[in-house]
Amino acid sequence: MSKERNEDMRKTILAGNWKMNQTSSMVHAELQSLLQQLPAVQAEIIVAPSFLYITQAIQLTKESPIHIAAQTMHWEEKGAFTGEVSPTMLADVNVTHVILGHSERRMYSNETNETVHKKVQAALAHQLTPIICCGETLEEREKGQMESVISTQIQCALSGVRENEIKQCVIAYEPVWAIGTGKTATPEQAQEVCAFIRSLIVAMYTKEQSEEVSILYGGSMNATNVSQLLKQPDIDGGLIGGASLRAEDFLAIIKQVP
């Protein structure tokens, strides 16, 4: 598939995952810098601050092209779930996207394929765009298990997603060995897995529908490697951790959207 077709069919998305990093004054300063210098590019720009600063970020970015995402959520609408945040609450404050199944949530907070599935359903029911993360560990890659790990993650996450909803989903391929390590997958490695993910979507839906789903790469993406990654036909953007924390670094990536 040519890049031209890719651009016609689906959005380029650059999403900054700020994890547990910024304080209120930093959220303010980095978003102000982003807003002041944001170039006019054909890409959807998303920032995911901590829950604590989501309303502050929404206030600062309203009437701007920047979308605000949550880094996770619970699947229930409300109830006795101490410490959790519901899809109803996120929609209530105008959050548009939610990152689900990030490998750090899978590693440290008991996120499983089953909870990701429930959260995808809840996100779609509340008109939140799920950014569904998948990716293999180094050990799984070395044992030749990459395809089985990714297919299980994708099939579970998308089970129950209806034909008219698949277009609303975003997938992020994030090899665990590349997250926060400075080791980026090569453009060819990332393309191979993103194409494999698209083939899984073809098998569950149709070829046409698979071509409408944006698939992002994540794992030490930065201003040096973004351009080669975005040239790959099945890579439609990036989920960016470390290199999105400072507006200057995130802008250097955004400016390279073709």
Contacting positions for ligand PEP (CB under 6 A): 17, 174, 179-180, 218-221, 239-243
Nearer to ligand PEP, 49 or 219 (CB): 219
Instruction: Give me the least distance between CB of 245 and ligand PEP, in Å please.
Output: 9
DSSP state of 32: H
Is residue 181 within 8 A of residue 204, CB to CB? The reply is no
Nearest Cα residue to 243 out of 47, 105, 109: 47
Nearer to ligand PEP, 21 or 88 (CB): 21
Instruction: Give me the least distance between CB of 9 and ligand PEP, in Å please.
Output: 24
Instruction: Give me the least distance between CB of 159 and ligand PEP, in Å please.
Output: 23
Residue ranges of the annotated binding site are 17-19, 180, 220, 241-242
Nearer to ligand PEP, 49 or 218 (CB): 218
Nearer to ligand PEP, 189 or 220 (CB): 220
Is residue 23 within 8 A of residue 237, CB to CB? The reply is no
Sequence-distant (≥ 6) Cβ neighbours of residue 4 within 8 angstroms? none
Active site annotation includes 97: no
Catalytic member of 74, 102, 117, 126: 102
Sign of the torsion formed by the C-alpha atoms of 115, 17, 221 and 129: positive
Determine the residue type at 86: S
User: What is the rounded CA–CA span in Å between residue 103 and residue 115?
Assistant: 13
Residue ranges of the annotated binding site for substrate are 17-19, 180, 220, 241-242
Active site annotation includes 102: yes
The structure tokens 């930065």 sit at: 222
Helix, strand, coil percentages, rounded to 5, for the chain: 45, 15, 40
User: What is the rounded CA–CA span in Å between residue 171 and residue 197?
Assistant: 9
Catalytic member of 30, 44, 111, 174: 174
Instruction: Give me the least distance between CB of 221 and ligand PEP, in Å please.
Output: 6
Q: Which residues are tagged catalytic?
A: 102, 174
